[in-house]
Structure 1
Amino acid sequence: MSDPIMVDVGLLVVGSRCAKSLSAALASASKQVTGRLYVRICSGVDLREVMPKVYVEASRVCDFLDVRVLIDESSTRVFDRIFADGDDIATQSSHAHRPYRSVVLGGTFDRLHNGHKVLLSAAILATSERIVCGVTFGEMTHKKCLWELMEPLEVRQKAVKDFVEDVSNKVRCEVHSISDAFGPSIVDPDLEAIIVSQETRRGGHAVNEQRKKRGLSTLIIEEVRLLEGEDKVLGENKISSSARRRALLGTIRRPLRINAGSFPRPFVIGLTGGIASGKSNAAKVLARNKCEVSIYRSRIKIASLSESKISSMLISL
């Protein structure tokens, strides 16, 4: 049997039967979709319960794919392929009760991942009108692991707004850039609840203290349990922005530009890094190309090489 033709956008319909085998359904659909896989939760299936499970399984079996659970589906959306069990009901799950008109949440939202999608989806399911989302920048991001590799603020803000408006056509998303821990959460009088994770619950209480000082109503704290994916090697959450930034280490971040003659003198290069980071292998390649290699304790220094020669060897690495 020949392989199925790949499509860019697919829809996985999750009814009562499919909900019991999400992992297999996602794995099968992901083999035929290259761009984005939407998931429709049918009536008879609890959207609030199944939504986070979809993202958990997606992180496990098809983390390379942009999976999105539809909450308020547009009737005009077009899919290249639909994956559905014949016994599943195609109508979307009903979730009319939304306790708040306006909710707030915040974060860095770097490289929007499935944990972010759970948090934002929980915010959508909690409000009937408006989500206010603060996206951190500047010094607020500098405590994050490898913050230097973080996406620009504008990219992160757009990702948040695009996601909310993509999975829901009923909720308005207001995105604010914030340079402190509070942003609009302590000045907006119309807010009713704050969406937090276990990690940021203390921040929710801090917001309420600031609102009290300003004579504003306190917010209901709605805690969302985020996805877990333990990294047994580094002891961190694999479903995280920091893990994704760590995966970028060693990749080319910008095109290599070679300007012949701009550096007439030989290069002196220092190789440094953690254990098993590749220093020795890089030094061996350079040594084979007639570089002078010197080892100073844990540091390796390579000298006497022209720019063009260095450039060609770095490309080969």
Structure 2
Amino acid sequence: MSSVVPAFGPDAPARLAGLADVTASDAALRRFLHGLPGVDAVGLEARAAGLGTRSIKTTAKAYAIDLAISMIDLTTLEGSDTPGKVRALCAKGRRPDPTDPGTPHVAAICVYPDMVAVAREALGEGSGISVASVATAFPAGRVALPVKLADTADAVAAGADEIDMVIDRGAFLSGRYMEVFEEIRAVKQACVRKDETAAHLKVIFENGELSTYDNIRRCSWLAMLAGADFIKTSTGKVAVNATPANTLLMLEAVRDFREAVGVQVGVKPAGGIRTSKDAIKYLVMVNETLGDDWLSPEWFRFGASSLLNDLLMQRQKLSTGRYSGPDYVTVD
């Protein structure tokens, strides 16, 4: 494409201009990313583990469970996905517990691009639930840029409100940072609709393939400089996905980025978060690291499929005093 959407909207503060030189050339971007402070791996993991031991009272737990439900990107990303499965997932997202209308709905339904129109129709207007779509040849991303842009544009045209793109990990690990930066900017442009509104862009790093905490920090800043609305840990398709430590590192990055330029970016851990206990640990981490500003679906999401069922079972237990078990929730 001949032009790209500015990395941030016109309301971004003037302080962002101070970082303009950072992305002026490949050499400048490299200097900046490699000039970021190194990550103390022992300290990071110890803090993440410590936050995971915090206990919360029953009333706070009930609030946290409802909050976690409202933050879920309810996801199906399988080759065996059918329109019927997507419609069923949408119904579950709208009414997670049919016996309790007070249960909050999920944040989004996340599907492959060819299922976006099905999800859009199934949710209808006014559901309050976004349609998210993976794109850019998810999960590997091993296609040419024009194909990635077409993949994104098709999903947006079909009605996607959010796009989850994967970065070119090979380019990043080879040190071709400007190539990754420009690809994110180009995908952001492809998120723009004909009416000039735009789907939100979540940028997936695949932390398990980035290998080091320093790389995760660099990738976080690279994506945010390129205009990511969210940064996301992983695809859920590799051995190492979201972990407390790598998510904490990304939370610290968005905090530092907002302090530097005044722009707030969301975070989405995905893959391996299956229980209410796990979800609450992540919410504690968000609260302790970022505060209330990020404790909403607008700024924090869980990429999950099985997590919702456990949250519903725990919610029922708090409400009735009995643990109903998995037979009392729908099977995805």
The TM-score normalised by the length of structure 1 is 0.28
From the two aligned structures, give the one with the greater helix fraction: 2
**Structure number, greater radius of gyration:** 1
TM-score if structure 2 supplies the norm length?
Answer: 0.27
Q: 1 or 2 for the larger relative contact order (CA 8 Å, sep ≥6)?
A: 2
